[in-house]
Structures are given as C-alpha cells and as structure tokens.
Amino acid sequence: MIPASKIDQLLLSFSDTRWLKVARIIGKTIEALEQRGVQMDGSIAEQIDARMAVLVGTRKLEAKGNIQNWRYSEVRLPSGE
C-alpha cells in the first residue's frame, strides 16, 4: 500500500493550472511509481483513482466531466479566479 500523501503529491505535481486529461496525470503518476519500483496491480490503480476523487472533493483540483472516465475528463489546479 502506498501512502495517500505520496499519491497526492505525485498527482498534484503532474497537474497544472490549465486543463489536462485525467488519463495523462494518472499515467504519469503510474510511470513515476513504476520508476520507484512499485509493482502495479489493480489495487494501485483503484487507490490512485480514489485519491484523485479526494483531491477533487477537497478542491485541491477542479474537474470537468466524470473523473472516473479518465480519457474523457479533465482536471486542473485551482486558478484562483
């Protein structure tokens, strides 16, 4: 199990103030974890998906679309508008 804070840190580090596809951010997060020697399985993907939902729910990220549909949704860091 990967600490939630580590996943959050990675997800936020690959986010931007411009809209980016959720699939892109999660893909980069998975790649970073693999480079650190983490074995990928379904539970890791579920954990990453759940952390993305928490970041959106706590407004650390803004979302467009259903974020569980990674290819057809986008997120960004709050722009402070």
Instruction: Map out the domains of the chain as residue ranges.
Output: 4-76
Query: Which residue type is seen at 69?
Result: N
Beta bridge pairs of residue 75:
20, 63
- Reported as a pLDDT band with limits 50, 70 and 90, residue 81 is low
- What's the rounded mean pLDDT across residues 47-76? 96
Helix (H), strand (E) at residue 20: strand 20-21
pLDDT for 56 equals 97
Mean pLDDT of 5-15: 97
Cα-based distances in Å from 29 to 80, 81: 25, 27
Looking at residue 80, its pLDDT comes to 64
User: Average of pLDDT values for 7-11?
Assistant: 97
d(CA 52, CA 57): 9
First to last CA, the chain: 36
In this predicted structure, what is the pLDDT of residue 79? 79
In CATH terms, the fold of domain 4-76 is Arc Repressor Mutant, subunit A (1.10.10)
